[in-house]
Amino acid sequence: MNNFQRAFSILSYLQDAGVRHMVLSPGSRNAPIMIALKHFPNIKVHLQPDERSAAYIAMGISLMTQQHAVCCCTSGTAVANYYPAIIESYYLQAKLICLTADRPAKAVDNRMGQTIRQNGIFGTYAETYNIEENELVDAEKIAQVLGRNQPAHINIAFEEPLYLDDAAPINIPKLPAEDSGDCLAQFEQASFILSQCTRPLVLIGQMETNAELSKEIEQWIGLGVEVAGEPLCNIPGVISHLDLFLQKNQPYWDCVISIGRDWVSKRIKQAFDCPIIHIEKGLHAPQQFGKISAHLSCSAVVGLQQLRTKIGTLRAENRLGIWNAQVQSALNAQKKDWSDFTAIQHLINAIPANSIVHLGNSSAVRYAMLFPRMDVEWFSNRGTAGIDGSLSTAIGQALSTNKQVYCLLGDISLFYDSNALWVKPENLCVLVINNAIGHIFELIAGPEQQPHIAEWQQSPHSLNLAALSQAFGWRHFVANNPEEITAALTQSVKGPKVIEIITRDCRNAEIFKEVIREISKH
């Protein structure tokens, strides 16, 4: 096979696996893939020259569509720029595929341009299939790397010449079918634990919207089981403020059933001293709440359906539900001076229903957890919880949905990921809380004990977001109060826009801590 035919083979297998989006970073070594792409009109190509951003955009597409999405680049350090998104995808369980072009093995470590050791570069964070120059593409190996519950890296070496005229398309066999992978080996142990409990608690970590799961959770709530989750769980009807409850109350549950991924709250992860049943497909059960007593390796829906019939006699408490309603009412009644808190409170209340909201990390996601809304769909890069790639991920989500997408993040997060603005989805509105410094280390416990390091933990700046937005072709609006936020959100301006909410020189950290103290009195 020549370069074109090998590239055609890979794209055929990827299309067969459900790939409909590729985020392409221009280069020369990946030219055979670009040449072959014209035969695959069902794969929509999005251009992003910045490979670090491109990988996050592809991850965002995968999270939005729940399908494989591809980022593709040339050889050399371009590949290394994919690493942060690979790690985030690993922990978010996103179906990200990195398709990287490589030079022949004989060029590695021999001072050839754009040549590094690409084979296995992502270590254990990605399942790798390395294809040497002139090697045929193996359908079984493609299926293997795509069938694992982690990102995939397909690295293919192309020998020059790279720009040959494309030959006629070739017939490619279908990929082998995937195994469902459900394993209920520890179901008997989990059933016994649950049958002995009178006060079980279901904890739901971060998840994408799932109508079938929502219906199953309704069944558990109807049986009198308390179910808690942060807004990122995307399940209506759950209790939202477990973190604040645990700030002043001891856990009273005798069993925890955990589904979903990470929680924002550290307190919840450290609160429980009871048997824990974790439901998550995969061999590894993360012990974020302590030692797992039983692990069901299956989907949350299957696991909960199986366990529901084993629920014993419950002791009705509903303390958490009553308290949660009181706290939510108190939060909604908070009237504070203009600050990050009041700005985000107003923003979240003003976002239209049925929207997609991607939350940046650090301060933005912590504030947003105080204002749960279940008529929007929440996302956030909580796999590793870093500030890098939040805007790029939201752009990927906007590229793959017809819904309006909002990305709420801080100024430092946006400037860190500003090359994402190269890609301009028409349905994306970026909401930037600009306090000109970054206050996250003033909100969390610990740093106040060492005030002399504050100057090294903060990032004061005078960067011009209006100029940056204009340079990339985004409409820019400024808001200094709730009325201006509403006016900016309701502007009948088509196309991507940035709304900059100014909160510099405000009592941001003080007001946040005041609110938490007042709410915790309930």
CA-CA distance, 381 to 91, in Å (whole number)?
Answer: 9
Q: Which residue bears the tokens 């072709």?
A: 473
Segment 135-151 mean pLDDT = 89
Report residue 449 as tokens: 């004990």
Beginning with the edge strand found earlier in the chain, give each strand of the sheet holding 127-131 in spatial order. Answer: 44-47, 21-24, 69-73, 96-102, 152-157, 127-131
Closest CA to 238 of 193, 201, 278: 201
* 136 in the same domain as 17: yes
Report residue 20 as tokens: 């409909």
**Considering the chain, what is the average pLDDT of its residues?**
90
Report if residue 327 sits inside a domain.
no
> How much is the pTM?
0.93
273 against 438, higher pLDDT: 273
Is the predicted pLDDT of residue 493 greater than 70, yes or no?
Answer: yes
The letter for the amino acid at 78 is A
Last residue of a domain, one of 270, 293, 322: 322
* 146 in the same domain as 205: no
Closest CA to 262 of 95, 381, 410: 381
State residue 342's pLDDT score: 94
The angle formed by the CA atoms of residues 456, 91 and 355, to the nearest 5 degrees, is: 90
Domain boundaries, position 90: 3-157
Count: domains in the chain: 3
- Cα 226 to Cα 270, 302, 415, distances in angstroms: 19, 19, 41
E strand segments, 282-368: 294-296, 356-359
Rounded to 5, what percent of the chain is helix, strand, coil? Answer: 40, 15, 45
Residue 59 maps to which CATH number? 3.40.50.970
pLDDT digits (tens, 9 = 90+) for 178-222: 655 567 778 999 999 999 999 999 999 999 999 999 999 999 999
Q: In this structure, are residues 97 and 19 in contact, taking their beta carbons and an 8 Å threshold? A: yes
State residue 150's pLDDT score: 86
* 413 in the same domain as 367: yes
Report residue 112 as tokens: 């050839």
Last residue of a domain, one of 322, 347, 369: 322
Note the residue count of the chain: 522
State residue 180's pLDDT score: 55
Looking at residue 137, the DSSP 8-state letter turns out to be P
CA-CA distance, 497 to 474, in Å (whole number)?
Answer: 5
CA atoms within 13 A on the CB side of 95: 19
pLDDT digits (tens, 9 = 90+) for 80-138: 999 999 999 999 999 999 999 999 989 888 888 888 899 999 999 999 999 999 899 99
Report if residue 206 sits inside a domain.
yes
Segment 232-241 mean pLDDT = 92
Is the predicted pLDDT of residue 520 greater than 80, yes or no?
Answer: no
* 338 in the same domain as 316: no
Report if residue 176 sits inside a domain.
no
* 355 in the same domain as 494: yes
E strand segments, 111-213: 127-131, 152-157, 200-204
Report if residue 417 sits inside a domain.
yes
Report if residue 61 sits inside a domain.
yes
CA-CA distance, 184 to 304, in Å (whole number)?
Answer: 12
Last residue of a domain, one of 157, 177, 205: 157
* 461 in the same domain as 345: yes
Task: Report the percent of the chain where pLDDT is more than 70.
Answer: 97
Report if residue 164 sits inside a domain.
no
* 144 in the same domain as 198: no
Helix (H, G, I), strand (E, B) or coil at 521: coil
Q: In this structure, are residues 368 and 408 in contact, taking their beta carbons and an 8 Å threshold? A: yes
* 300 in the same domain as 227: yes
466 against 520, higher pLDDT: 466
* 216 in the same domain as 115: no
Helix (H, G, I), strand (E, B) or coil at 267: helix
Is the predicted pLDDT of residue 460 greater than 60, yes or no?
Answer: yes
Helix (H, G, I), strand (E, B) or coil at 65: helix
* 357 in the same domain as 477: yes
Is the predicted pLDDT of residue 484 greater than 80, yes or no?
Answer: yes
State residue 492's pLDDT score: 75
Can you list the alpha helix ranges (DSSP code H) found in 266-318?
266-269, 300-308
* 254 in the same domain as 373: no
Report if residue 175 sits inside a domain.
no
Residue 278 maps to which CATH number? 3.40.50.1220
| Res. 78 pLDDT band, cuts 50 70 90 | very high
* 407 in the same domain as 317: no
Q: Which residue bears the tokens 């794969």?
A: 43
pLDDT digits (tens, 9 = 90+) for 6-16: 999 999 999 99
CA-CA distance, 301 to 204, in Å (whole number)?
Answer: 12
| CA 485 to chain CA centroid, nearest Å | 26
Is the predicted pLDDT of residue 341 greater than 90, yes or no?
Answer: yes
Report residue 396 as tokens: 């990927």
Helix H or strand E encompassing 71: strand 69-73
CA-CA distance, 245 to 243, in Å (whole number)?
Answer: 5
Report if residue 178 sits inside a domain.
no
